[in-house]
Amino acid sequence: MLKSQLAPGCSSRTPPGGLASSPLSVYTDVMKLLGTPLSPYAARVMIAARAKGMELAVDEADGWPGSATLRAVSPIGKIPVLVDGDIAIPESEIILGYLDDCVPNPSLFPGDARQRANTRLMVRLMDTYSTPSFAPFLPSAEPEARSEALRRIGQALGYIDHFRLDGEFASGEEFSAADCAWIPFFHYFETLQPAFGVLDQVRRYPRLDRWWGRARATPLGEFARGVIDEAVAKMFAKQRGE
């Protein structure tokens, strides 16, 4: 996709046909994502960009929460932040909307008003009512923090199961922002299953369990699991001083 094909107001370019199709050196002004796939919120932006065939330069070194560089761009100090030319956009939900405005097809909010509201609700319920981060599952965390995180995850999944439009995808019959948002969360639930039984919370809701069985095996699911696992392995290697 050339700059001229982007919606007005979007300053970056993406290669025609997506990531693999063109020498990246031709495209120097790509959007930059400050963050790391360790963050499920940053990973969702990576999935959304990939679904649209948009190139995104992921800046992990500067993107860590709290870093001075990050705070200069966003005083909130949280990742992800999307930098596109001279604007910086925090909050993954807003970033997904921006990507969708810049490159409308394929849409991250497909369908009619009812469907689109459900997609937004699915993202919002996970973000508002599940654990705000997976830090309670780190070895250094207090057991009480872990129980509270598990309780919140179970609660969010209950709300989601109640309101979700059932179908092939996270919200109904088309891929949407809800799939982008949930894939990283569910991958962490799965990764944490052997130690903490997090996926057992999902198994209480068979339709959600079946969605995850499908989503994890899609090309975007495999992409996300790959980049998250790589980032987790790097984090533990760094902690071991390697």
Ligand X SMILES: N[C@@H](CCC(=O)N[C@@H](CS)C(=O)NCC(=O)O)C(=O)O
Does residue 93 belong to the site contacting ligand X (CB under 6 A)? yes
Question: Is residue 188 close enough to count as binding ligand X by CB under 6 A?
Answer: no
**In the block, which residue shows the tokens 């065939």?**
53
**Smallest distance from the beta carbon of 161 to ligand X, in angstroms?**
22
Closest CA to 172 of 119, 235, 230: 119
Q: Shortest Cβ distance from residue 127 to ligand X (Å)?
A: 6
Nearer to ligand X, 77 or 167 (CB): 77
What's phi and psi for 221, nearest 5 deg?
-65, -45
R_g over Cα of the chain: 18
Residue of 12, 39, 130, 171 that binds ligand X (CB under 6 A): 39
Q: Does 78 engage in binding with ligand X (CB under 6 A)?
A: yes
Q: Nearest distance from residue 168's CB to ligand X, in Å?
A: 25
d(CA 210, CA 102): 32
Q: Which residues have a Cβ under 8 Å from the Cβ of 226 and sit 6 or more positions away?
A: none
Give least dist CB 37 to ligand X, A: 10
59 near ligand X, judged by CB under 6 A? no
- Rule CB under 6 A: say whether 91 interacts with ligand X: yes
User: In terms of CB distance, is 65 or 167 closer to ligand X?
Assistant: 65
**Which pair of tokens denotes residue 111?**
């369908």
Q: Does 60 bind ligand X (CB under 6 A)?
A: no
Q: Compare residues 79 and 170 and give the one whose CB is closer to ligand X.
A: 79
In this structure, which long-range contacts are made by residues 216-221, counting pairs with CB atoms below 8 Å and at least 24 apart in sequence?
216/183, 216/186, 216/187, 216/190, 220/47, 220/50, 220/51, 220/175, 220/179, 220/180, 220/183, 221/183, 221/187
164 binds ligand X (CB under 6 A): no
- Please tell me whether residue 182 binds ligand X under the rule CB under 6 A: no
Query: Is residue 133 close enough to count as binding ligand X by CB under 6 A?
Result: yes
Nearest to 184 by CA among 236, 229, 238: 229
Min dist CB 120 to ligand X, Å, is 13
For residues 161 and 208, the answer to whether their CB atoms sit within 8 Å is yes
**Residue with the shortest CB distance to ligand X:** 65
* Residues near ligand X (CB under 6 A): 39, 41, 65-66, 77-80, 91-93, 127, 132-133
